[in-house]
Structure 1
Amino acid sequence: MSVQKKLIIFIIALLAIDQVVKIWIKTHMMIGDEFNVFGEWFKIHFIENNGMAFGMASESGKTGKTLLSIFRIIAVAGIGWYILKLLKEKAPTGVIFSFALIFCGAIGNIIDSMFYGLLFNDSYSQIASFLPEGGGYAPFLHGRVVDMLYFPLYEGFLPHWIPIWGGDYIVFFRPIFNIADSYITIGVILLILFYRKFFTGKKA
């Protein structure tokens, strides 16, 4: 099987996994609902955000949300073009698939922003319905991104001898994110750890 065919299957599979999980969360849980997966350190906790990574909120308003969505679409188009360029140049397979991970992560979250507001009603104090009679909760490009992966590895008070934060109550790791965010993070880490020579070699 050619690299191109493997890449297409890879991208479709990753996008399917991301969207199936998000749609299940959206149609089975309300905002704030959670359940434990492994003890207290890995939970599924449903939140939504306006498009920032790792559950971070964006208060930029409707215009800012539209601009953010358009910027992401342009960025994804640029990544897609670069992947095609790498294929033509017969770049290392690992480099191509690392960029494909970033590509899938960006598309996964763009799908939420573009379509979820049209396809679902909101999840506050209710479980959302697919294609509700009254219409969705937001117009095109204004949907919220579904996040659910929560890893509170440590929750408690820090020892008093720690400078500045000693005695404070903390949760580590606090951000709540989704599978698409994970794709982006893994892709970037792979490029940094294993494929720096590819880029430095090209510059040389």
Structure 2
Amino acid sequence: MSLKKASLIIVLILLIDQLSKIYIKTNFILGEEVKVLEWFRILFVENEGMAWGAKIPGEYGKLILTLFRLGAIVGIGYWLWDSVRNNGSRILITAIAFIFAGAFGNIIDSVIYGIIYSDSYGRVAEFLPEGGGYGTLFHGKVVDMLYFPLYDGVLPEWIPIWGGENFTFFEPVFNIADTAISVGVGLLLLFNKKAFPVKKEAGLETAA
């Protein structure tokens, strides 16, 4: 696959990701939920840190995380360029393109959303507010909205430890960028041999 085709994949994912985030940010109040299906809802939450809502503690935790993400995206970009240069498999290049697009999509939120939007607490966020955004450069929050509570109920009493307690599966709320990263990693895991084919040594001949 050419770098041009890989770039097209990245641009398409970024467009879908950012358009969905812009729509949610400018139309939903934080915590607002719309039930699409019983097992699929649009729920507006913001992630200040890493996956699963984890955070790096301390005053500079958010800045450290954002800078780490920027460094990671440079590394992923080089991996993509090097794979294309060395005629890597289509699966490998597609997977890297998905991972790059997903990582870049969330970086956009972390880097600039804090300065271009007002906060969403009890109100719909304003784009480019007069008094400035809710944060500063590199201190934005990642917008999440996809929620799939496939099961939400009380577990049977006979289940050890958790029996009788309320349980939700799948509880995390995520976005298109997160989905792209998951798809990319999934492709690498499922098609590992195609993504990383073993090259036969030159001059090696099979026995007659």
Q: What's the counterpart of residue 109 of structure 1?
A: 106
Does structure 1 residue 180 correspond to structure 2 residue 197? Answer: no
Is the Cα contact below 8 Å between 2:25 and 2:124 reproduced in 1?
yes
Map 1:32-43 to 2 at 5 A: 32-38=31-37, 40-43=38-41
8 Å contact 1:53–1:181 — kept in the other structure? no
Give 2:42's aligned amino acid.
I
Question: Corresponding residue for 1:201?
Answer: 198
Please state how far the C-alpha of 1:8 moved relative to its aligned partner. Answer: 1.5
| 1:201 alignment partner, SS class | coil
Q: Deviations over 1:152-176 (max 9, x none)?
A: 1111111111111111111111111
Match of 2:29 in 1: 30
Q: Which amino acid is the alignment partner of residue 49 of structure 1?
A: N
Distance between the aligned counterparts of 1:163 and 1:173, measured in 2? 20
Q: Does 1:153 align with 2:150?
A: yes
Maintained 8 Å contact 1:51/1:113: no
Q: Which of these residues, 87, 94, 104, is aligned with residue 97 of structure 1?
A: 94
Find the aligned partners of 2:193 and 2:133 in 1 and give their Cα distance.
44
1: CA distance, partners of 2:59 / 2:110? 12
Find the counterpart in structure 2 of residue 60 from structure 1. Answer: 57
Contact 2:91 2:195 in 1 (8 A): no
Aligned equivalents of 1:23, 1:201: Cα separation in 2: 43
Give the alignment's TM-score, normalised by structure 2.
0.91
Question: What's the counterpart of residue 45 of structure 1?
Answer: 43
TM-score (norm 1): 0.93
Distance 1:171 1:198 in 2: 35
Structure 1 residue 200 displacement after superposition: 6.8
For structure 2, the 5+ residue unaligned runs are 202-208
Question: Is 1:79 the counterpart of 2:87 in the alignment?
Answer: no
Provide the secondary structure at the position in 1 that maps to 2:107.
Answer: helix
1:140 aligned partner: 137
Query: 1:132 corresponds to which letter in structure 2?
Result: P
- Identity level (%): 51
Q: CA deviation at 1:9?
A: 1.3
Q: Give yes or no for the alignment of 1:21 onto 2:28.
A: no
CA contact (8 A) 2:47 2:143 kept: yes
Aligned AA (1:87): V
Structure-2 separation of matches of 1:73 and 1:34: 31
Q: Please, which of 160, 164, 182 is the counterpart of residue 167 of structure 1? A: 164
Q: Measured at CA, do residues 186 and 146 of structure 1 come closer, stay the same or move farther in structure 2, by a change above 3 Å? A: same
Listed as ranges, the gaps of 5+ residues in structure 1 are none
Q: Secondary structure at the match of 2:44?
A: strand
Instruction: Write 1 or 2 for the structure with the bigger share of helix.
Output: 1
Distance 1:200 1:3 in 2: 18
Give 3-state SS (helix, strand or coil) of 1:6's partner: helix
Q: Which amino acid aligns with 1:117?
A: G
Alignment coverage as a number of residue pairs = 201
Which protein has the larger Cα radius of gyration, Structure 1 or Structure 2? Answer: 2
